[in-house]
Structure 1
Amino acid sequence: MAEENRKVLPGALAALGIVFGDIGTSPLYTLQTVLNDTGSTDRETLLGGFSLLVWTMILVVAVKYATVVMRADNKGEGGILALFSLVGGSFGKHWYTRGTLLAAAGLFGAALLYGDGAITPAISVLSAIEGIGVVTKSLQPYILPIAAVILFGIFAIQPLGTARISAVFGPIMLLWFLALGGIGLSSLLHDPSVLIGLNPFYGLHFLYEHGANSLVILGAVFLSVTGAEALYADMSHVGRPSVRLALAVIVLPMLVLSYAGQTAFLVSHPQIKDNPFFASMPHALVLPMVVLATFATIIASQAIITGAFTLTRQAMQLGWFPSLNIRQTSDSEYGQIYVSVVNWMLMVVTLLIALSFKSSDALSGAYGTAVSTTMLMTTLLVFDVMRERWEWPLWKALPIALFFAIIDVAFFVANLLKIDKGGYVPLLIGLFIYIIMTTWRRGIILLRAGLAPLGERSDKVLQKLRNGEMIRTPGAAVFLSRYESALPPIVMRHVADFHCLPEQVVVLNVKFDTVPRIPSAERMTTKDLGNGIWQINVTFGFVEIPNLYYVLGQAKEQGCTLDLDKLVFFAGDDDVVPDLKTPKMVSPRRILFGFLYRNAVRASDRFTLPRERLVEIGHQVEI
């Protein structure tokens, strides 16, 4: 037990920086947005808003995600794509089938997180820098330029990696949460009676009194839990017990104190129009808190960006995204990666969003639409896990899922009302990513189907080899394969095209593991298939640079008859062309797939093979 505690406690500290950055910076703008939407600062309104904020955090963050959803991990991995792989959804012929609905829910929910990844840094950094406007109005014109420079800097440092500075993320966020709670408690002591708002009746009465406008208010209240999805997505970094401990001991109590303090301050100062977060603290603390808030929002943005990188790698591994160049930036943390294309595209979109909306208040209309939709998709997938994986009876699973679904639908509809205020931005980003994912998957299926008839059957080739009927040419060939079969498709296509095989053939299958380095004794297996053909399966750690010549040299020491001086590498490089007779994809999607396929990272590029020793076997495949 003591050993377990030694792991959980440091993990809880790390979770503050990795998991809770987004939700931890929500007090910067949430209550202000709620009050702007209600248009009133009377006591009943303030107590009702406070009650809604607290119970939204309890039900969505603590009950739904921390208690239920985090149980649905896939070998320790979380996030909606990990959940999607757990339920095994796949597109079928009809939209209403279980597999199709689950696939659409998982993929669209994942795609929307890219929209969230673009908006979160913009609104978080803007809301932090806006605090200097409370210090002096003369600095107001400089808020947007300063925020833009900081946002550019956040993305610019990504290629350097964050392994070194991430060690201080947890302590900084701990200081941030303690400051939230301390300042909130100071204001709360002036009017402790606002704690009566912890009674959920005040929140329900608040919604009843505002009638149809209550949906608009719920859209603002939802900003308090936009980081809830991170609890699930990032739990693999620190572990489920650490996330729950940090939430129960630090995050939730400090957030409640912060919102309670802002509420108590506004009850006593209803005339205040500035952001209540900064207005409620002593003037001397505003500038230090602006600095600390800026660091907190940078950490929150870092977590979101890293989450986008992780999401991209998961999508690639599951076959829903083209291969991109992924670089490991830490030799100890698997999650510390850098994806250049995703980083710079996110930077451009984030800067455009910040410069277009200009303030956190204006951005609040665009924020929440993507996350509320993802949360609804998560509930649908978790219900399937309850029934299929956990084997819960319907009477147990359905009430729990319906309870969460009612809350999710309420927030989903509330956020849809913000479409014209910017809510369309993350939805368009999500739709674009969803189209890429589904187009890539469909295109790869059609490509493989088109390549299948081009090669000969493996049993026929083996029979020719045994009978000595296959022409053997001088030299040594290494076929790069993604299959562990003895004669993979690329060998079959070589035989079909050239009607021969080199005297020495190596079928080389390369895989990457989730550990930093692989011991030499465990790296490789070799198998002599006879007739001068060898099968080699090799595994590299995620920080290792693949050296195929070194691997082949080791294989030679193990008996593989291979002349390294005569090596020629064979890899696949096919082209996609339209099928004029019976097109299998509509023209825009085929063009998109062709673009993605041409620009995806090839095995030859990943292994930096010498061009003069590389032969790429390509065919035109009609789809």
Structure 2
Amino acid sequence: MSQTTQDQDQSKKPLYGLALAAIGVVYGDIGTSPLYTIKECFNPIHGLPLTHDNIIGVLSLVFWSLLMVVSLKYVYCIMRADNRGEGGILALMALATRTQHRQRGQFSIYILLGIFGASLFYGDGMITPAISVLSAVEGLKVIAPTLEHWVIPITITVLVVLFAMQSHGTATIGKLFAPIMVSWFVMLAVLGIYNIARSPEVLGAVSPHYAVQFLLAHPWLSFITLGAVVLALTGAEAIYADMGHFGLKPIRLGWFGFVWPALVLNYFGQGALVLTNPAAVSNPFYMMGPSWFLIPQLILATAAAVIASQAVISGAYSITWQAIQLGYCPRMAIRHTSEKERGQIYIPGINWALLAAVIVLVVGFQKSERLASAYGIAVTMTMVITSIMAFAVLGRRESILRSPAKRYALFALLALFMMIDLAFFSANAMKFLDGGWVPVVIASFTFFLMTTWKRGRRALFHRLHDGELPLAMFVESIEANPPHRVDGTAVFMTGSTDTVPHALLHNLKHNKVLHEQVVFLTIQSTDEPYVAMKERLQVEQLSPSFWKVVATYGFKEEPSVPDILALLAETHQIDFELMTTSFFLSRETIVDAKEPVFSWLRRRLFALMQRNAARPTDFFKIPPNRVVEMGTQIEM
């Protein structure tokens, strides 16, 4: 074997390994869609007759939806809009606002769209575990109809166990994800081929004219059916969001080489089954195989549903972390569940809130077909938002701008995607009163919380620093007329880089002393996922005993004051002895002002969120026994 061939083989190994890992994590949501998609398309409530042409037409719609939305839009096109390798709605929002050069109107629109898209993810994060696990456990009714009354209790038990395991992290259980999901997709493909062999005419559904014919023959019914076809696309957003974990090439390889063919084969197999046995439409997935295979099928489906739920739950943690770093969510208690992987986190507050919401959904809706009505709106609204922001990002890429032909082709393609997204969204909007309101209400409430926190923090910042002394003038005055100085270092945590912190003024007023070395430390986040280590710190020596330090972190990074101090000692020879270092923080109490900055409800909500936010000592990893908090009242 030649050296070149050996090098190529070595380079392929990591790619194939990452593609295999991506199958276990990225495709769980979209991979469990066959549990309910075809069943929901022919739900009797929609009134679609179970005829040969309608079955082939629906299969054609599913095939071309997967091709146009997942393969072309997300995997090929949208994944080009990466924020330094990171994807997802908040990463795209940060990229869109940056490419607009912060023009005020457009900047605000993209921020609002991004926040609402992130809010929709929480709705998706509640519905996905509910519908996935419930659909899998409903296989009990096929095995033994007398077990139907056990479906809800077993579903809730599985969900409680799943959420209870989150505190242990996914490092160990994650190793099982890839083999289980590979087995799942192999089973999907085999069951599909098994049924296609009995009715091979379903393969003709790859021709788009069947989809067009179906749309023209039943304009209204086909429009309603689009609201169910979109269930085959759930999880497409997760493919884009997880690209930062695995990279573009492994995700594309896993999709085109394995996942997409398995899904298509299974959908076509379900269609072939319904053609030969119309009664199977009540639950075509569980009727695809021989009766002896039902129990293994149920076990594997439940495992796949749990994995699909795990991916969404982990995504909720990640998006919360990003929202905290970008300033749209108060600090929360966060546990890191892996010493090697910084992205593996556990947020107890989010975890138990999700579990409570999921149980309410399962008990309230009872059946997966009812939950399906609530599922599509969140997915399609996120798809529309992604397409809008993709216009802003991809249309301004330098490689696109240099070629008018490429630019026009891209805009034409994005316009086509937008039309498809709007068609799916319009169809799902018809189900608003049948459960579609659930994710909209969840997203609207989350959006209200996030914007309240952002506006409140901005108003608090202005009130805190309104009338503060200029830092340079203060330092000059102190050095000229120094108070009593004591040994050690004082680190004042402050959000402003050019004014004197309230904590310092309170310390001088009450204690009338100042440490021999004073550091003003500001920790800020940027709209990029990661910041290079050489760009982490900006250090300025204001005088022989005063330093100003600005530490910048990306929205996917974890701020750590001890790490900052160690980096200062390494790069600027500023030595810190933790036992002689005190950290001074301001603790604000919100009180009503004569002229409030915003409505009574927002003020009360912001004050509540402020009181329950995680302590800075925990969030920034400051040694708690070295902290001094100086309280102040702020009128808002």
Q: C-alpha distance in 1, partners of 2:553/2:89?
A: 27
1:464 alignment partner, one of 444, 469, 477: 477
Amino acid at match of 1:402: A
Query: How far 1:618 moved relative to its partner?
Result: 3.0
Mark the CA change 1:90 to 1:153 in structure 2 (over 3 Å): closer, same or farther.
farther
TM alignment of 1:266-281, pairs within 5 A: 266-281=274-289
Mark the CA change 1:549 to 1:120 in structure 2 (over 3 Å): closer, same or farther.
closer
1:437 maps onto 2:450 in alignment: yes
Amino acid at match of 1:6: K
The equivalent residue for 2:90 is 81
Query: How far 1:515 moved relative to its partner?
Result: 12
Query: How far 1:498 moved relative to its partner?
Result: 5.7
1:9 maps onto 2:24 in alignment: no
- 1:342-370 deviation line (CA, Å, top 9, x unaligned): 11100100010011111111111111111
Q: C-alpha distance in 1, partners of 2:135/2:571?
A: 62
Mark the CA change 1:493 to 1:419 in structure 2 (over 3 Å): closer, same or farther.
farther
CA contact (8 A) 1:330 1:543 kept: no
1:588 alignment partner, one of 601, 615, 629: 601
Q: C-alpha distance in 1, partners of 2:102/2:598?
A: 15
Query: How far 1:453 moved relative to its partner?
Result: 2.3
CA contact (8 A) 1:379 1:401 kept: yes
Q: Secondary structure at the match of 1:97?
A: helix
1:426 maps onto 2:426 in alignment: no
CA root-mean-square deviation:
3.5
CA contact (8 A) 2:38 2:284 kept: yes
Amino acid at match of 1:569: F
1:34 alignment partner, one of 41, 45, 54: 41
The equivalent residue for 1:570 is 584
- 1:235-268 deviation line (CA, Å, top 9, x unaligned): 1111110110010011110111001111111111
The equivalent residue for 1:68 is 77
- 1:475-529 deviation line (CA, Å, top 9, x unaligned): 545224266958763566457856965142332648699999x99x999998765
Mark the CA change 1:257 to 1:561 in structure 2 (over 3 Å): closer, same or farther.
closer
Q: C-alpha distance in 2, partners of 1:494/1:586?
A: 30
Q: Select between 329-338 and 556-565 the one with higher mean Cα deviation.
A: 556-565
The equivalent residue for 2:4 is none
1:502 alignment partner, one of 485, 506, 514: 514
CA contact (8 A) 1:528 1:560 kept: no
Query: How far 1:286 moved relative to its partner?
Result: 1.0
TM alignment of 1:101-140, pairs within 5 A: 101-140=109-148
Amino acid at match of 2:422: V
TM alignment of 1:307-386, pairs within 5 A: 307-386=315-394
Q: Select between 302-311 and 487-496 the one with higher mean Cα deviation.
A: 487-496
1:222 maps onto 2:236 in alignment: no
TM-score, structure 1 as length reference: 0.91
1:478 maps onto 2:490 in alignment: yes
CA contact (8 A) 2:472 2:498 kept: no
Q: Secondary structure at the match of 1:388?
A: coil
1:18 maps onto 2:25 in alignment: yes
Mark the CA change 1:576 to 1:131 in structure 2 (over 3 Å): closer, same or farther.
same
CA contact (8 A) 1:161 1:338 kept: yes
Query: How far 1:340 moved relative to its partner?
Result: 1.0
Query: How far 1:601 moved relative to its partner?
Result: 1.6
Q: Any stretches of 5+ residues in structure 1 without a counterpart?
A: none
Query: How far 1:136 moved relative to its partner?
Result: 1.1
Q: Secondary structure at the match of 1:574?
A: strand
Mark the CA change 1:486 to 1:560 in structure 2 (over 3 Å): closer, same or farther.
farther
Mark the CA change 1:510 to 1:539 in structure 2 (over 3 Å): closer, same or farther.
same
Query: How far 1:615 moved relative to its partner?
Result: 2.3
- 1:202-229 deviation line (CA, Å, top 9, x unaligned): 1122122222232221000000001100
Q: Secondary structure at the match of 2:127?
A: helix
TM alignment of 1:92-241, pairs within 5 A: 97-241=105-249
Q: Secondary structure at the match of 1:164?
A: coil
Mark the CA change 1:574 to 1:505 in structure 2 (over 3 Å): closer, same or farther.
farther
TM-score, structure 2 as length reference: 0.89
2:430 alignment partner, one of 409, 417, 423: 417
Amino acid at match of 1:373: M
The equivalent residue for 1:51 is 60
Q: How many correspondences in the alignment?
A: 618
Q: Secondary structure at the match of 1:617?
A: strand
Query: How far 1:52 moved relative to its partner?
Result: 0.6
Q: C-alpha distance in 2, partners of 1:280/1:602?
A: 54
Query: How far 1:30 moved relative to its partner?
Result: 0.3
Q: C-alpha distance in 2, partners of 1:482/1:162?
A: 36
Amino acid at match of 1:579: A
- 1:279-331 deviation line (CA, Å, top 9, x unaligned): 12110111101000011011000000001111111111111111112211112
Q: C-alpha distance in 1, partners of 2:496/2:442?
A: 37
Query: How far 1:549 moved relative to its partner?
Result: 11
Q: C-alpha distance in 2, partners of 1:444/1:91?
A: 24
Q: C-alpha distance in 2, partners of 1:540/1:79?
A: 18
CA contact (8 A) 1:91 1:103 kept: no
Q: Select between 73-82 and 198-207 the one with higher mean Cα deviation.
A: 198-207
Mark the CA change 1:304 to 1:562 in structure 2 (over 3 Å): closer, same or farther.
closer
CA contact (8 A) 1:470 1:499 kept: no
Aligned residues with identical type, % of pairs = 36
Q: Secondary structure at the match of 1:572?
A: strand
Query: How far 1:4 moved relative to its partner?
Result: 3.3
Query: How far 1:550 moved relative to its partner?
Result: 12
Query: How far 1:446 moved relative to its partner?
Result: 0.6
CA contact (8 A) 1:90 1:102 kept: no
CA contact (8 A) 2:119 2:444 kept: yes
Q: C-alpha distance in 2, partners of 1:414/1:448?
A: 44
Q: Select between 565-574 and 9-18 the one with higher mean Cα deviation.
A: 565-574
CA contact (8 A) 1:186 1:261 kept: yes
The equivalent residue for 2:593 is 579
Q: Secondary structure at the match of 1:506?
A: strand
Query: How far 1:606 moved relative to its partner?
Result: 3.4
Q: Secondary structure at the match of 2:583?
A: strand
Amino acid at match of 1:81: L
CA contact (8 A) 2:100 2:392 kept: no
Q: Secondary structure at the match of 1:573?
A: strand
Q: Secondary structure at the match of 2:214?
A: helix
Amino acid at match of 1:185: I
Mark the CA change 1:490 to 1:387 in structure 2 (over 3 Å): closer, same or farther.
farther
Query: How far 1:578 moved relative to its partner?
Result: 2.3
Query: How far 1:598 moved relative to its partner?
Result: 1.5
CA contact (8 A) 2:465 2:496 kept: no
Query: How far 1:563 moved relative to its partner?
Result: 7.5
CA contact (8 A) 2:27 2:308 kept: yes
Mark the CA change 1:17 to 1:505 in structure 2 (over 3 Å): closer, same or farther.
same
Query: How far 1:334 moved relative to its partner?
Result: 2.8
Q: Select between 34-43 and 484-493 the one with higher mean Cα deviation.
A: 484-493
